[in-house]
Amino acid sequence: MKLKFLFSTILVALSSASFAQTWSTDSIAMGTGYANDVFYELKQGSTKYQVGNDWHLAFQMTAFPEPNFNAAIRASHAKKGVEVYVIKKSVSTSIFNNITAADTVGFTDPSLQLSNVDTSWGTGAFYQNRNVLDPFSYGWGEYSMSSHHLMGTSVYLVKSGGNAYKLWVQQYISNPSDSIKYTFRIAKLDGSNDRTIDLYRKSSNAVFTDRLFAYYNIDSNTIINREPSRHTWDMLFTQFRQNVMGPGGIMQPYNVTGVLTNQYVEVAEIRAVHVDDPIHLTSFKTYSRTTNIDEIGSDWKTYVNPGPSGYYQMADSTSYFIKTKTDNSYYQVYFTRFDGGSPAAQGKIVFNKRNLGSALSVNKIASSAVTNWIVSPNPANNTAAIMIDAKVAAPSARMIVTDMAGRIVSNTPIAIAAGMNGYSLNTATWPAGIYAVQIAGGDWKMSTRLAVAH
């Protein structure tokens, strides 16, 4: 059978919807002390309220090869005050067993603390100590060419609520799809409360296949399913930690209240243009958008006149143009009120929104041989990683790279195993430009483009 591949293309067509649509006003209330996280969908205005301080660690559940997949592990910095440090960059059962508080000396300076980077869901705290020269390094572990799984390479110190733990993420099993799981071991530094946890993407107890993350509470030793389906929300009203300018002009971490967006949501922030300026209605589709999850962030408000008479002022003439994935529509949003989260308030956020039109897309149809594949980073500098999630093995496949003139710059035989496969391209000596990457395996082939920028 000849297998054909239809790769994703995006057909964007704005509907002929009238731009005379009126604004609608909506609000959410996070509660006293910003107690809740609020997941929000723009189309229906639907919400899910979830207690914000019920987790310490979050394990990425979106599977390879979705964008931002880094087998990411995030920490609850804002609500649980979780601190993360690397204390060993090599690990074995013996090393883990013998780690004590003495082994943390010299590793807990504030400058060594690892934090989530809130530009994507895939850049959690445990990713920050990765080897940036190795495209198969995930911080806490590395990709194994033999097993096609991720194997733990580091021991972390995790501090929260006056307690200190040693953590070893032992492995991430990538296939088969029904067996995807993380295995991690955690214990107090004196060796007590030692436990090994298998966190499955899909099990009889919980199914996380349509969630961004599965969550773990260290104190109760429980796995928590706290998100709605990732297909049902666009914005998350929450607290997260950012570096802000402190006394003496020194940047320091601070808990902020704001908005993070769902994976694939695109946002354009337009300032100094009135929210009702007609230019928005003719230009919104051309505004430069980003998928950075903190593009809305927290700077849509400013605290004015700190003290008993302090209040929050909304950013003047600032709109956010949001392209959703839940209903493939464009929305304009601006904020009108923020109450804060002191005991006298309820963390209420008020905003106006309107639908500007819909975007139609042609979905990617996966082949019967390969579930998906990705080239990352793209653009590449010195190295690019090729990751292939194969349904069937292709032991005599070939990877060919050509420049735009059709000249072959790389022609390499590769053996593709069923499951997740990783290969590396050395692009250090390639001239900057666009290249075609083709993978051929028997009676099928697939191709994509790779940009190289030095």
What CATH number has the domain spanning 370-452? 2.60.40.3080
CA pair distance 152, 127, nearest whole angstrom: 12
Of 33-42, 180-189, 191-200, 245-254, which gets the smallest average pLDDT? Answer: 245-254
Q: What percent of the chain has pLDDT over 90?
A: 65
- Round to whole Å and give the CA distance between 156 and 168: 7
Contact 36, 50 (CB under 8 A): yes
CA distance 185 to 179: 19
Q: Please state the rounded mean pLDDT for residues 285-303.
A: 94
Domain ranges for the chain, please list them.
Answer: 24-43+233-358, 55-224, 370-452
Q: Spell out the residues 6+ positions from residue 451 whose beta carbon is closer than 8 angstroms to its own.
A: 378, 379, 380, 433, 434, 435
Q: Is 248 helix (H, G, I), strand (E, B) or coil?
A: helix
What are residue 354's DSSP bridge partners?
Answer: 332
Lowest mean per-residue pLDDT among 81-95, 216-230, 243-257 = 243-257
Query: How many other CB atoms are found less than 10 A from the CB of residue 49?
Result: 15
- Which residue type does 91 have? V
**Beta-bridge partners for 226:** none
Torsion, Cα 124 128 133 135, to 10 degrees, reads: -20
The maximal CA–CA distance of the chain, rounded, in angstroms, is: 75
Computed over every residue of the chain, the mean pLDDT equals 88
Average pLDDT estimate for 100-120: 96
For 94, phi and psi rounded to 5 degrees?
-65, -45
The model's pLDDT over 123-143, given as tens digits with 9 standing for 90+, comes to 999 999 999 888 889 999 999
pLDDT-derived band at 449, boundaries 50, 70, 90: confident
Confidence category of residue 367, pLDDT binned at 50, 70, 90? low
Please list the residues that pair with 48 across neighbouring strands. Answer: 39
How high is the pLDDT of residue 135? 85
Q: Is residue 129 within 8 Å of residue 157, measured between CB atoms?
A: no
- Which segments within 109-212 are labelled E, that is strand? 141-143, 150-152, 155-160, 163-173, 181-188, 195-200
